[in-house]
Amino acid sequence: MLSANNSLLNACSRSESLIQSCRPVGRVVKFPWPARPLARLLRHRFALIAVLALSALLQAAGAAPADASAAPANALTSLPTAAPANAELRANAPLDAPTNTSASTAISAPAKAAGESPTGVRDPASCQVARFSDVGWTDVTSTTAVVTQLLRSIGYSPTVTVLSVPVTFASMANNDIDVFLGNWMPAQAGDRARYVKDGSVVVIRANLTGAKYTLAVPAYTYAAGLHDFSDIQRFAPALKNSIYGIEPGNDGNRHVLDMLKQNMFGLGGFKLVESSEQGMLSQVERAYRDKQPIVFLAWDPHPMNMRFDLKYLSGGDAVFGPNYGGAIIYTVTRRGYTAQCPNVGRLLTNIKFTLRGESEMMAAILDRHEAPEIAATEWLKANPTVTKAWLDGVLTFDGRPAASTLAHAVPPPRPGGFEQWVVSHKIPLGDAIAVAIDYIKAHGTFLFDGISIAIRTVVDGLTGLLRALPAPALILAFAVLAWVLRRSLPLAAFVALALLFILNQGYWEATLETLSLVIVATLASAAIGVPLGIAAAHRPRLFAAMRPVLDLMQTLPTFVYLIPTLVLFGLGVVPGLISTVIFALPAPIRLTHLGISSVPKPLLEAGEAFGATPMQLLWKVELPSASSTIVAGITQCIMLSLSMVVIAALVGAGGLGVPVVRALNSVQIGMGFESGFTIVLLAIILDRMSRPKERGTSQ
């Protein structure tokens, strides 16, 4: 009897035409005695849940039928009330639903009933981590943050790596990066062309139109007559023969460098000051405040267009393209990514930004100083219609319709406890320092401008003097100086050959700029550090107070020095020199303190016995005894100053750091090794010529 009843129920569950005849009407179905325990078990709610869970496990293991919507009905064959509901879902399903097994299982029945796009396909587990590239421009940072936050909200775990544009395309070709949202065209045509040609980079779609990217000037400079690229030469003295760009190796910088190299518009005598986006904007802000003329790279969308009254220069079609460098920004992926991860590919196909939307996100980052993730989350909440359109046909990582799931998502509860209390009561250290720097900048303009003029005059004067000397004469002078200091013919020959090699490689001008920076930084560090070291040796309490400051100066990341100096002194050699002095200063202080503290007491007692004054003891006894240690401190100061060369290039200091950063950002292996080897040769020359003589060495 039991087997017959089960056979009848199975037949009813499989046949839609028998559903009504199998439904109990106005009476209670009674089971024979052997089946009553099973009926009681099935009436129990926990047993029902267990059967549902077993059905889900069987479906996941591949034991379920191909039609996902029919699976519950087939699994619960002993429940006559389950069949009508599933039959209704099948009746309301779209006629053009995909027949592919994986696609049909990825789209749930509720999504079909709601009329959502049925084209989504659930991604495999390998697609949960999506790797994005961010080239450091605020617009690309904003768009990348929005997309990655959206992916996190639907169950993915995206990662973002900051790379330059050429490194981004090379990494995509090597399958190290999956997605890049900042392909500005035609500016990046040279970077992208060969990768698109060989198929290693795939263009998905244009995510922004109406952008532009070319040179611009403040409105007051435009009113003075600088309207066109051909007008720049007439303003050369006021512009100090300088054009301000962003990071070395950037495509816009390369266009400007090619323009200067080819002497287009008579600009062969100009130089490009390379730093970063924020470094350039800091210099623009200083010039705008003082109403000084300046030419710089500008683009739209960007908050600079609202922050400054600026005008884009005409006549640059041959450099940046027509329509003021009119640009289209594309979404690109590595080869085969959308086939491997079709759900993410669907999202990338849906995403399109607007100039206003990007400007809103960038304003939150630059003006309100919000983290990109926070700005992106707030923007997504404020634009639900855009979010819904982007998620059309997209599934969450676990296979549910993304739009409806995100709309009904419950915000996670805020964690409590002691740790959360500590985090929520953050000490405003960063805000306090930012306010202090802003106050100093607002009330110390004349002081900082005076310091900038003095330092720039000294460094530029020394650089000009070195450039005025013929290269052969300067090489001979360095070789003779090496022989005088060390009495070593091999060293003199090495110095001459090394400098000739640098001249041969084309880095002579950059080497002279670096040498000027190192010399001035070393002299300034020694002039400050040696007296402080002497005072610290004579006053133990002073050294105890200085020790934590020196530790901070030596351990604080060198990039941190650049931030306040860039804000206070602007772009150029001044912030680079001041940052270098701060970084190198602890070495002469510590070693001078060590040398003076290590003077043998019998020598001091002998000097005092002969009636020497404290000043005579210092000059006649202490300094001669500690001279080797003090010189070692100065040598270390030289090496530390030279190590800051590359970092100083990020704030427009010039020198050998510029080709190093440019090679890194543009993946030019040859240039990187050439400039790096030049720095090594210069370091060896300075070290061998400045190190203290070994004891016992004959003169």
Quote the pLDDT of residue 408.
65
Quote the pLDDT of residue 80.
33
Same domain, 78 and 158: no
pLDDT at 559 over 80: no
> What are the tokens at 472?
């052969």
Same domain, 222 and 314: yes
Q: Which domain holds residue 17?
A: 2-92
Same domain, 605 and 515: yes
Same domain, 249 and 157: yes
For 538, the 3-state DSSP assignment is: helix
d(CA 599, CA 607) in angstroms, rounded, equals 12
- Residue 417 domain flag: no
Buried b (16+ CB within 10 A) or exposed e, 589-605: bbbbbbbbbebeeeeee
CATH code of the domain containing 635: 1.10.3720.10
- Give 404's pLDDT tier (boundaries 50, 70, 90): confident
Same domain, 385 and 481: no
Q: Which residue has the higher pLDDT, 637 or 278?
A: 637
- Among 407, 433, 457, the domain-final residue is 407
Q: Which residue has the higher pLDDT, 314 or 74?
A: 314
d(CA 517, CA 529) in angstroms, rounded, equals 18
Using alpha carbons, select from 457, 440, 679, 455 the residue that is nearest to residue 578: 455
**What count of Cα atoms within 13 Å lies in the side-chain half-sphere of residue 239?**
25
- Residue 681 domain flag: yes
Place of tokens 């100039």: 355
Cα–Cα distances (Å) from 222 to 237, 291, 297, 378, 684, in that order, read: 16, 12, 15, 37, 49
- Among 388, 407, 426, the domain-final residue is 407
Task: Tally the domains of the chain.
Answer: 3
- Residue 267 domain flag: yes
Q: Which residue has the higher pLDDT, 51 or 431?
A: 431
> What are the tokens at 251?
């495509």
d(CA 72, CA 51) in angstroms, rounded, equals 10
d(CA 23, CA 178) in angstroms, rounded, equals 54
What dihedral angle (degrees, nearest 10) is formed by the CA atoms of 642, 645, 647, 648?
A: 120
Residue 134 is classified by DSSP as E
pLDDT digits (tens, 9 = 90+) for 14-38: 444 433 434 433 434 444 444 454 4
- Residue 351 domain flag: yes
- Give 1's pLDDT tier (boundaries 50, 70, 90): very low
Looking only at the bridges linking them, the beta strands covering 242-244 and 271-273 are parallel
- Residues 414, 420 contacting (CB under 8 angstroms): yes
pLDDT at 53 over 70: no
Quote the pLDDT of residue 533.
93
Same domain, 272 and 385: yes
pLDDT at 269 over 70: yes
For 27, the 3-state DSSP assignment is: coil
- Residue 477 domain flag: yes
Q: Which helix (H) or strand (E) holds 212?
A: strand 201-218
> What are the tokens at 471?
């290269």
Amino acid symbol at 396: T
Quote the pLDDT of residue 68.
36
pLDDT at 108 over 70: no
- Give 105's pLDDT tier (boundaries 50, 70, 90): very low
Angle at 124 between CA 121 and CA 125, to 5 degrees: 145
Within 10 A of 129 (CB to CB), how many other CB atoms are there? 12
Lowest-confidence segment of 78-87, 234-243, 303-312, 622-631 by average pLDDT: 78-87
Quote the pLDDT of residue 485.
87
Using alpha carbons, select from 109, 167, 129, 95 the residue that is nearest to residue 668: 167
Contacts of 37 (CB under 8 A, 6+ apart): none
pLDDT digits (tens, 9 = 90+) for 482-493: 999 888 899 999
Report phi then psi at 535, rounded to 5.
Answer: -65, -40
- Give 694's pLDDT tier (boundaries 50, 70, 90): low
Same domain, 381 and 493: no
pLDDT digits (tens, 9 = 90+) for 134-150: 988 888 999 999 999 99
Q: Which residue has the higher pLDDT, 232 or 649?
A: 232
Rg (alpha carbons) of the chain, rounded to whole number = 36
Q: What is the residue-averaged pLDDT of the chain?
A: 79
Same domain, 153 and 274: yes
What dihedral angle (degrees, nearest 10) is formed by the CA atoms of 314, 317, 323, 326?
A: -120
- Residues 179, 132 contacting (CB under 8 angstroms): yes
- Give 175's pLDDT tier (boundaries 50, 70, 90): very high
Please state whether 266 falls in left (phi above 0), alpha (psi between -120 and 50) or beta.
left
pLDDT at 446 over 70: yes
Place of tokens 């590919």: 345
Same domain, 22 and 78: yes
- Residue 427 domain flag: no
Same domain, 257 and 401: yes
Average pLDDT over residues 173-200: 91
Same domain, 476 and 625: yes
pLDDT digits (tens, 9 = 90+) for 332-387: 999 999 999 999 999 999 999 998 888 888 888 887 778 899 999 999 999 999 99
- Percent of residues, the chain, with pLDDT higher than 90: 35
- Residues 233, 260 contacting (CB under 8 angstroms): no
Within 10 A of 33 (CB to CB), how many other CB atoms are there? 7
- Residue 110 domain flag: no
- Among 407, 424, 459, the domain-final residue is 407
pLDDT digits (tens, 9 = 90+) for 452-482: 888 888 988 898 899 888 999 999 999 999 9
Quote the pLDDT of residue 270.
92
CATH code of the domain containing 174: 3.40.190.10
- Residue 303 domain flag: yes
Using alpha carbons, select from 229, 231, 232 the residue that is nearest to residue 320: 229
Average pLDDT over residues 61-67: 40
Same domain, 291 and 152: yes
